[in-house]
Amino acid sequence: MNLHLYDSPTFRMACQQFDLVADFMNIPESARDRLKMPKRSLSVSIPVNMDDGSTKVFMGYRVQHHLTLGPTKGGIRYHPDVTIGEVAALAMWMSWKCALVGLPYGGAKGGVTCDPRTLSNGELERLTRRYTQELIPVIGPQVDIPAPDVGTNEQIMAWIMDTYSLQIGHAVPGVVTGKPVLLGGSLGRREATGRGVAYLVSRAMDTLGIQAQGATAVVQGYGNVGSVAALSMAKQGIKIIAVSDAFGGIYNPNGLELNQLDAHVAATRSVVGYAGAEPITNEELLLLPCDILVPAALERQITEENASKIQCRIIAEGANGPTTPEADAILTQRPEIFVIPDILCNSGGVIVSYFEWVQDLQSFFWSECEVLDKLFRLLEQSYMQTLNHSRKHNISMRFAALSLGIKRVYDAKSLRGLYP
């Protein structure tokens, strides 16, 4: 198989994970490339008129991993390190995630190589609308449904929906999820991933017999997912002792006052400089003694170098692919650490995105209580299936989650057959 187009550390990592699980499942060699390789990918150049009068060209991507179970689903990220290989890896993980939690989707992902923090609101809008225009042939409510990811938000989804709708000739709210509620978004969608992380942390604590009162948590990545997860865990009685973002981290062994911290972040756009804590690096933060470690930043944060030094009871992967396969092998030899793998742990976002899509298609909307009830039911079902599969086959939680997701895609492809 030629990986040249997608070759990147993240895509090689996703393929390595797949190969290990495929060996365990005895998937025939003849089926592996078909399961692994993306079905469709698009690379576009995006010329944007900048505020200073210049024209700058950005690179954008969209990768659809498989279309076997229904339309594809996945976020769009704006980040300086976006590559087509990273996007392809994230699309693959989305496939296994959607299949694991029983959603009728294949995985997709998109991204633009840019730093959104350096762009004005007008530049962001022009970038988004031009990127959407290039995607129109390959997105749609029955084809591929984008959503927010790193560096994107409700406003960007609103611009995507508007641009697509103008081309179609009528409002199409189902083309994206994670929209503002006023435009057909779902109540509870913005908080869904973080709340899902906290719910699964609570279930893992039940499994291990850890009491929430007095437990401590560390969160790497204080963005949408990390901040909501921290607040939700704090409401359970868990003490948040350290958090970080791209600029650095803060630590207070007595616990952080999250309301004050959120006000500081709103004013400065970073956790750095918060007066109620001491500074700490992202590297040091991962090694702090705690009960719960939540990597909720970018990929490949827990590595061969630091996996043996981590001092926690539970790793709750709010980010996609935060643990490398080499680190995974080390963690597997450390039974005192319980890993909630990414495709389960952060699935709350795509679950409520699915609910939003369903509400848009039927033009009938649910209360936040209904959304949360349905979310927690699906998470509970997926958690128990993964835990039971792990125990039955004496495999790690990650292996259990991946094997359940991959098997469902493999079985669906086998049932549909291969068109001549």
Catalytic residues: 109
Backbone angles phi, psi at 324, to 5 degrees: -75, 160
Neighbours of 208 (CB within 10 A): 12
Tokens encoding 104: 């009728």
Nearest Cα neighbor of 96 from 116, 140, 66 is 66
Q: Annotate 91-127 with DSSP letters as a single string.
A: HHHHHHHHHHTT-S-EEEEEEEES-GGGS-HHHHHHH
Phi, psi of 220 (to 5 degrees): -95, 115
Question: Is 201:232 a contact under the CB 8 Å cutoff?
Answer: no
Specify whether the CB–CB gap between 84 and 41 falls below 8 A.
yes
One-letter amino acid of 124: L
Enclosing H/E stretch for 73: strand 72-79
Residues 186 and 356: beta-carbon distance below 8 Å:
yes
CB 389 within 8 A of CB 402: no
Q: What single letter denotes the amino acid at residue 102?
A: G
For residues 152 and 159, the answer to whether their CB atoms sit within 8 Å is no
Distance from chain centroid for Cα 55: 32
The per-residue b/e assignment along 33-52, b for 16 or more CB within 10 angstroms, e otherwise, is: eebbbbbebbeeebebeeee
DSSP structure string for 282-300: HHHHHTS--SEEEE-SSSS
From the list 222, 298, 225, the residue with the least C-alpha distance to 262 is 222
Helix (H, G, I), strand (E, B) or coil at 59: strand
